[in-house]
């Protein structure tokens, strides 16, 4: 049994069509109802309709990425209980449609963070990048967060000061737009909103956020067990604290803590090699060996870090992540499963014809097609050598 080759599809407005996805060779679709505001119930009819569209194209909806966790749950504020009830209802509705793997994250306010969405590689393709100096420029000169300098190395603060002096208002606005953007179709936060959230999370702290995550999981586990849903938490991206916001899903230790605190089968992991691999403290192969029994979904991509810890997204098979080692472990895990583990080529370079198209950052067709092709070849080679 092979892993399920999957592909993220943002829905009918995605510039990459279901037909394109079939041509890329994927069979599983990873999708979400992005138009539903965070925290609202996903109605049964809308889930059925999305499923119908996917199946009409001869594909199947294997993972929901994501059912977003409302900020009221992450901060455990007054409305938390009613949002938990909404979440449970959405899970029941998904299960009623036969969709039983759900991805989510517990990153405060911002989903993944990058500072450049069009970092040009030497071959002319474009990649996503995270640069500490750019983040410091945003933090110090746009957000103007109190005490921010202390969170950066002195060289980074100095470089940010020098570079910021040469930036126009327009440059700064562009940088802010990139950092404040989460999932493209779900809207971004504003600078004042972010500042307010930073204050709220400061009071919660890392321990408080961990408790809130455990509380969330405990609140949904019964429904998951009743309906057969597996939850998969996406690691923090990047896997360390930024902008003074706490992080609780950034390392092997964080993942083991979570699995131990809520030791129930539906409490699972979305193993994202790029997110974990962006941290110098992480060895993705070692982490997969430790938590693999609870990995129900994988995002496979690579990163290349420099001496300061800044990174860009490299080719799927080359970079700091030992993709061969990860795939070998995934193949071994998969061979012990009743249901195949879905993986998707996570992100891809904007390249070839896609350089002239408007695509969702990280989610153009050709770069992901390349990634998927390389990963499926790697999987097949490993499979065959085991059986040889």
d(CA 342, CA 106): 21
Decide whether 103 or 220 has the Cβ nearer to ligand DNO: 103
Measure CA 38 to chain center.
16
Q: Which of 7, 112, 130, 312 binds ligand DNO (CB under 6 A)?
A: 112
**Judged by CB under 6 A, does residue 234 bind ligand DNO?**
yes
Size of the site for ligand DNO (CB under 6 A): 11
Decide whether 234 or 370 has the Cβ nearer to ligand DNO: 234
Smallest gap from Cβ 341 to ligand DNO, in A, equals 17
Active site residues: 234, 272, 299, 346-347, 363
User: Of 97-105, 142-150, 246-254, 311-319, which segment contacts ligand DNO by CB under 6 A?
Assistant: 97-105
Q: How far apart are the first and last CA of the chain?
A: 16
**Judged by CB under 6 A, does residue 271 bind ligand DNO?**
no
Decide whether 140 or 239 has the Cβ nearer to ligand DNO: 239
Task: Give the H/E segment covering residue 272.
Answer: strand 267-272
Decide whether 51 or 299 has the Cβ nearer to ligand DNO: 299
Decide whether 294 or 299 has the Cβ nearer to ligand DNO: 299
Buried b (16+ CB within 10 A) or exposed e, 19-29: ebbeebebbbb
**Judged by CB under 6 A, does residue 342 bind ligand DNO?**
no
Q: Which of 87, 104, 130, 297 binds ligand DNO (CB under 6 A)?
A: 104
**Judged by CB under 6 A, does residue 111 bind ligand DNO?**
yes
**Judged by CB under 6 A, does residue 46 bind ligand DNO?**
no
116-120/28-31 β-pairing: unpaired
Smallest gap from Cβ 236 to ligand DNO, in A, equals 9
**What's the Cα-to-Cα distance from 250 to each of 284, 332, 340, rounded to whole Å?**
11, 24, 26
326 neighbors 341 (Cβ within 8 angstroms)? no
Smallest gap from Cβ 359 to ligand DNO, in A, equals 13
Q: Which of 75, 105, 334, 364 binds ligand DNO (CB under 6 A)?
A: 105
d(CA 6, CA 132): 32
Decide whether 140 or 276 has the Cβ nearer to ligand DNO: 276
**Judged by CB under 6 A, does residue 362 bind ligand DNO?**
yes
Q: Which of 65, 71, 139, 313 binds ligand DNO (CB under 6 A)?
A: 65
Q: What is the DSSP string of 147-182?
A: TGGGGS-HHHHHHHHHHHHT--HHHHHHHHHHHH--
3-state helix, strand, coil in the chain (%, to 5): 50, 15, 35
Tokens of 223: 């429904």
Decide whether 91 or 159 has the Cβ nearer to ligand DNO: 91
d(CA 28, CA 51): 12
Tokens of 150: 């202390």
Task: Give the H/E segment covering residue 193.
Answer: helix 191-227
Task: Give the H/E segment covering residue 227.
Answer: helix 191-227
User: Of 102-110, 117-125, 152-160, 326-334, which segment contacts ligand DNO by CB under 6 A?
Assistant: 102-110
278 neighbors 239 (Cβ within 8 angstroms)? yes
Smallest gap from Cβ 301 to ligand DNO, in A, equals 9
Alpha-carbon dihedral of residues 242, 247, 251, 256, nearest 10 degrees? 180
**Judged by CB under 6 A, does residue 103 bind ligand DNO?**
yes
**Judged by CB under 6 A, does residue 183 bind ligand DNO?**
yes
Site string for ligand DNO, 292-331 (x = CB under 6 A): -------x--------------------------------
**Judged by CB under 6 A, does residue 247 bind ligand DNO?**
no
Residues that bind ligand DNO (CB under 6 A): 65-66, 103-105, 111-112, 183, 234, 299, 362
């Amino acid at each position: 049994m092979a892993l399920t080759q999957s592909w993220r599809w943002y829905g009918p407005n995605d510039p990459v069509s279901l037909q394109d996805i079939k041509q890329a060779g994927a069979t599983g679709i990873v999708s979400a109802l992005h138009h539903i505001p965070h925290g609202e119930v996903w109605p049964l009819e809308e889930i059925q309709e999305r499923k119908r569209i996917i199946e009409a194209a001869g594909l199947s909806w294997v993972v929901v990425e994501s059912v977003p966790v409302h900020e009221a749950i992450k901060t455990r504020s007054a409305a938390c209980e009613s949002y938990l009830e909404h979440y449970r209802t959405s899970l029941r509705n998904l299960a009623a449609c036969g969709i039983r793997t759900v991805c989510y994250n517990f990153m405060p306010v911002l989903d993944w963070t990058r500072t450049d969405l069009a970092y040009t590689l030497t071959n002319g393709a474009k990649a996503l990048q995270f640069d500490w100096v750019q983040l410091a420029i945003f933090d110090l000169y746009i957000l103007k967060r109190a005490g921010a300098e202390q969170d950066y190395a002195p060289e980074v603060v100095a470089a940010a000061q020098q570079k910021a002096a040469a930036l126009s208002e327009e440059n700064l606005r562009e940088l802010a737009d990139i950092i404040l953007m989460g999932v493209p179709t779900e809207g971004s936060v504003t600078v004042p909103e972010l500042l307010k959230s930073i204050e709220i999370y400061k009071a919660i702290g890392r321990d408080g956020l961990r408790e809130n995550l455990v509380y969330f999981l405990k609140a949904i586990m019964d429904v998951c067990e009743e309906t057969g849903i597996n939850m998969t938490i996406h690691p923090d991206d990047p896997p360390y604290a930024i902008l003074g916001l706490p992080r609780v899903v950034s390392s092997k230790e964080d993942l083991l803590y979570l699995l131990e605190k809520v030791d129930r089968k539906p409490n699972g992991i979305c193993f994202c090699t790029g997110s974990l691999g962006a941290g110098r403290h992480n060895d993705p192969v070692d982490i997969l060996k430790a938590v693999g029994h609870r990995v129900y979904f994988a995002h496979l991509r690579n990163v290349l870090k420099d001496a300061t810890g800044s990174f860009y997204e490299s080719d799927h098979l080359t970079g700091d992540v030992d993709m061969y080692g990860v795939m070998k472990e995934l193949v071994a895990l998969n061979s012990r499963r009743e249901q195949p583990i879905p993986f998707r080529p996570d992100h891809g370079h904007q390249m070839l014809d896609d350089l002239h198209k408007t695509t969702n950052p990280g989610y153009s067709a050709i770069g992901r097609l390349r990634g998927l092709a390389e990963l499926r070849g790697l999987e097949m080679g490993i499979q065959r050598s085991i059986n040889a």
